[in-house]
């Protein structure tokens, strides 16, 4: 095209730039809490350790026993030192900790985990526990396929500290946006949500307890999660809570 003197040459218009695609929030890892979710009861110190060491002749107060347990779950006391802190002498009288024969696996948990693993969705656990006891409990209950298994006693941090989930991300190499955390503790879920993880509150209130107001979607038990995944349902039923969250539903590529 001939240029006209004194006029600026024609400049082709730039093609419009397509907006950047948002990061994928496809569900890759479901993170299950230990006590209160995968295992019962929710308070192992009060319902398992206290009666166990009292039966063994402990002279420590309940507050002293709970504090010793907390320190052990931070890796600051060994099981033998915990035994001594409870006012007991001699060799500790436990194999799997005070859990054997007293704890239970939550109903439906094995089926729920198998369903996710069959579809290529990873399942991990984050638990406040004594390292030695938790590793034995994992093998004893047959949950070796649940990985990563992050124990407070190994990392020196307890939930609800967000550092627990930082460690989870480091060992799993799964971005926060692709994780769903199922836990029974509001503070833990708040910490997970602050990092961009999807969340669900596990458990139903007692019959005589008023419904809990929460910002997190609630699931009563693992059987309910399986039932929801097996029937057509609005995606909001098990939706995650951060903006653009992945959902535990067929629309997110997870067909339970």
The span from the CA of 20 to the CA of 118, in Å, is 33
Q: What is the pLDDT, as a whole number, of residue 37? A: 97
Q: Under CATH, domain 29-41+105-206+213-246 is a member of which superfamily?
A: HAD superfamily/HAD-like (3.40.50.1000)
Write down the pLDDT at residue 208.
45
- Helix 109-118, helix 222-230: angle, nearest 10: 40
SS percent in the chain: helix, strand, coil, step 5: 35, 15, 50
Contacts by 70-74, CB closer than 8 A, 24 or more apart: 70/45, 70/158, 72/130, 72/153, 73/128, 73/129, 73/130, 73/152, 73/153, 73/158, 74/152, 74/153, 74/156, 74/157, 74/158
Residue whose token pair is 């590793």? 135
**Chain segment 123-134, per-residue pLDDT in tens:** 999 999 999 999
Per the CB < 8 A criterion, the answer to whether 129 and 158 are in contact is: no
Tokens 């990061």 belong to residue: 23
Query: Is 231 a residue whose pLDDT tops 70?
Result: no
E strand or H helix that includes residue 228? helix 222-230
Pairing verdict, β 149-151 and 122-127:
parallel
151 strand-pairing partners: 127
* Token pair belonging to 246: 């992945």
Q: Between the CA of residue 59 and those of 46, 55, 153, what are the distances in Å?
A: 16, 10, 25
Mean residue pLDDT of the chain comes to 82
Is pLDDT above 90 for 92? Answer: no
Question: pLDDT tens, 17-66?
Answer: 655 555 567 999 999 999 999 999 999 999 999 999 999 999 999 999 99
pLDDT at position 89: 85
* CA-closest candidate to residue 184, choices 41, 21, 20: 41
Domain range annotation of the chain: 29-41+105-206+213-246, 43-102
Provide the b/e sequence for 2-15 (b: ≥16 CB within 10 Å): eeeeeeeeeeeeee
Q: How far apart are CA 63 and CA 44, in angstroms?
A: 14
Q: How confident is the model at residue 97 (pLDDT cuts 50, 70, 90)?
A: confident
139-163 confidence digits (pLDDT tens): 999 999 999 999 999 999 999 999 9
């Amino acid at each position: 095209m001939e240029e006209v003197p004194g006029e600026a040459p024609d400049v082709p218009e730039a093609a419009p730039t397509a907006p950047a695609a948002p990061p994928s929030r496809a569900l890759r890892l479901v993170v299950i809490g230990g006590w209160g979710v995968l295992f019962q009861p929710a308070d192992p110190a009060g319902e398992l350790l206290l009666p166990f060491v009292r039966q063994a002749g402990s002279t420590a107060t309940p507050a002293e026993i709970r504090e010793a347990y907390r320190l052990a779950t931070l890796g600051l006391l060994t099981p033998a030192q915990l035994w001594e802190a409870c006012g007991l002498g001699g060799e500790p009288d436990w194999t799997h900790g005070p859990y054997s024969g007293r704890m239970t696996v939550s109903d439906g948990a094995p089926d729920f985990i198998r369903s996710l693993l069959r579809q290529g969705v990873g399942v991990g656990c984050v638990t406040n526990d004594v390292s030695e006891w938790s590793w034995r409990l994992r093998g004893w209950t047959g949950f070796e396929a649940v990985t990563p298994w992050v124990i407070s006693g190994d990392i020196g941090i307890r939930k609800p500290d967000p550092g627990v989930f930082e460690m989870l991300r480091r060992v799993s190499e799964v971005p926060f946006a692709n994780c769903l955390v199922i836990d029974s503790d509001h503070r833990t879920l708040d910490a997970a949500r602050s990092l961009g993880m999807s969340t669900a509150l596990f458990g139903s209130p007692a019959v005589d307890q008023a419904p809990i107001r929460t910002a997190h979607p609630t699931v009563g038990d693992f059987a309910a999660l399986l039932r929801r995944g097996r029937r057509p349902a609005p995606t909001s039923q098990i939706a995650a809570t951060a903006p653009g969250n992945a959902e535990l539903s067929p629309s997110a590529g997870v067909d339970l």
